[in-house]
Amino acid sequence: MSSVIERIETLLVDLPTIRPHKLSMTTMACQTMVIVRMRHSDGIEGVGEGTTIGGLAYGPESPESIKCNIDTYLAPLLVGQPSGNVNALRALMNRHARGNAIAKSALETALLDAQGKRLGVPVAELLGGAREAHLPVLWTLASGDTQKDIDEAFQRLDERRHCDFKLKIGANPVDQDVRHVAAIKAALGERASVRVDVNQAWDESTAVRGIQALQDAGIELIEQATPAREHEALIRLSKRFNVPMLADEAVQDARDGLSLAAGGFSGAFALKIAKSAGPRGVLELASVAQAAGIGLYGGTLLEGTIGTAASLHAWATLPEMAWGTEMFGPLLLTDDIVTEPLNYHDFGVDLPTAPGLGVTLDEDKLVHYSRK
């Protein structure tokens, strides 16, 4: 008899950040992760993670809603179902629950982790096989202080930990943000590439002014300058400037990707398993991008090690990540809830090779940081 899902447990886990992380919509000093533990009748446990940014500041799912909706609606759908058919279980969740992409991503990750452990293979092999064993990782400079950001960038370069940097802007007046970014790029020169993430903070006219100044300053990529639902504005900006646009909040899944591509968007898509309801959904979006000649970038919602590992297994299967990845989430946290952290070195991170996600929960740390 095939294995069935016996029990699904969710935990809210609060981990402090190494410094305040300033974005256009919030400043973070702690990251809350929803950890999923999925037990199967053959004794295997799969783990998953659902994470967002700043409670409800970033999107329509909060850590508390993710936990509640898994416990109340999604877990009862899955308990008692056969464990191994991930596609059938994805379809079941989508048939009975609208939206809730982050919650579904956490559950799909737990299913893939369990199946990988069951078969003795890494999740990347379940997704078609890894092409890369070491993936590049950039670092986000988000202290809000120009000199602190410059010092932090040089430290990361000297440690050979990161050689590409992203700046979070949009919370300040556009001229102030441009001065901040231009000063950092001038200080780093040719030693590092510098990109910016506006996090939807500008209207189109402000974006035109800001992007022109950023392009003149040598910035290499502009992420989501305008609000997510204004696809036409993003398409116009991508056609107007030489510096590429990176669509993030505007492109959740393959359908959004098709809409942007059909409208003439050029540039890149930020892939995130959380936006696309899991690794399989995000690879569907990547296929649309590749068919349309749109570049790929491995994005994060500042997940911890479990969510980061799940993303890395997906990115490793892709033929090219033209803009690299930003899978630095665990490095932003003061501690971890796994026994062996991911191996960051030489401007990137190694793909875990053990069965499943390749990570193991530290039970003591999990108890310590779980919300009571």
Q: Which residues are catalytic?
A: 168, 326
Instruction: Read off the amino acid at residue 23.
Output: L
Q: Please provide the size of the chain in residues.
A: 372
Between CA 63 and CA 76 the distance in angstroms is 19
Of the candidates 253, 242, 245, 212, the one whose C-alpha atom is nearest the C-alpha of residue 226 is 245
Q: Name beta bridge partners: 27.
A: 22
Instruction: Read off the amino acid at residue 357.
Output: L
Nearest 5 degrees, angle CA 51-CA 56-CA 62?
40
Query: What CA dihedral angle connects 72, 74, 76 and 81, to 10 degrees?
Result: -170
Q: What is the enclosing helix (H) or strand (E) of 322? A: none
DSSP codes, 279-297: HHHHHHHHHHHHHHT-EEE
Task: Tell whether the torsion through CA atoms of 223, 235, 201 and 54 is positive or negative.
Answer: negative
Residue 38 three-state SS: strand
Return the structure tokens found at 175: 């001229």
Residue whose tokens read 């646009």: 245
